[in-house]
Amino acid sequence: MPQFEAGLYQVSSLFLIPALVLILAALVYAVFALGAFLVESVQRRRAGWRSSLSRRQAQTDAASDDLELMILKDLEGLRIVSRSAPMLGLVATMIPMGPALLSLGRGDASGVGQNMVVAFS
């Protein structure tokens, strides 16, 4: 059984780096989306501004259902990021907790600290 548990630990540790990379990518995307939001809010205060939605409606002569689908398509990336980021955060927190608990059982305070830094950063 210890070999099985060690194998499971090694498989789970393979997921740590991709989870951290995806968390950083989600952070970059969120900052980019926030910047786009702020730019649009500044643009809305200018006279003669037309939203991209009204420009699309004028170009394509789309019905309201089609415009709604365009809005949903634009927001799909943010929806995916907002739903997957908590899961990735949980994965990135729980994977280093195993070695931290093993270090705690051995009385190795420095090992606990090193793994907890990774888990909660």
Give the tens place of pLDDT for each residue, 57-103: 888 877 878 888 888 998 999 999 999 999 999 988 888 888 888 88
With respect to residue 60, please indicate whether it lies within any of the assigned structural domains: no
With respect to residue 112, please indicate whether it lies within any of the assigned structural domains: yes
Give the tens place of pLDDT for each residue, 19-66: 999 999 999 999 999 999 999 899 888 888 888 778 888 888 778 788
pLDDT surpasses 70 at 111: yes
Q: Pick from 16, 34, 17, 14: which is nearest to 82 by CA?
A: 34
pLDDT surpasses 60 at 1: no
With respect to residue 69, please indicate whether it lies within any of the assigned structural domains: no
**Contact yes or no for 81/28 (Cβ under 8 A):** no
The pLDDT assigned to 87 comes to 93
Other residues' Cβ atoms within 10 Å of the Cβ of residue 116: 17
Residues 101 and 87: their CA atoms lie apart, in Å, by 21
With respect to residue 65, please indicate whether it lies within any of the assigned structural domains: no
For 12-76, the DSSP string reads HHHTHHHHHHHHHHHHHHHHHHHHHHHHHHHHHTSTT---HHHHHHHHH---HHHHHHHHHHHHH
The pLDDT assigned to 80 comes to 94
Residues 89 and 56: their CA atoms lie apart, in Å, by 37
Q: Give the total number of structural domains in the chain.
A: 1
With respect to residue 72, please indicate whether it lies within any of the assigned structural domains: no
Comparison of pLDDT for 43 and 5, the residue scoring more? 43
Per the structure, the complete domain to which residue 17 belongs is given by 13-49+81-120
With respect to residue 109, please indicate whether it lies within any of the assigned structural domains: yes
Residue 119 parent element (H or E): helix 109-120
The pLDDT assigned to 23 comes to 93
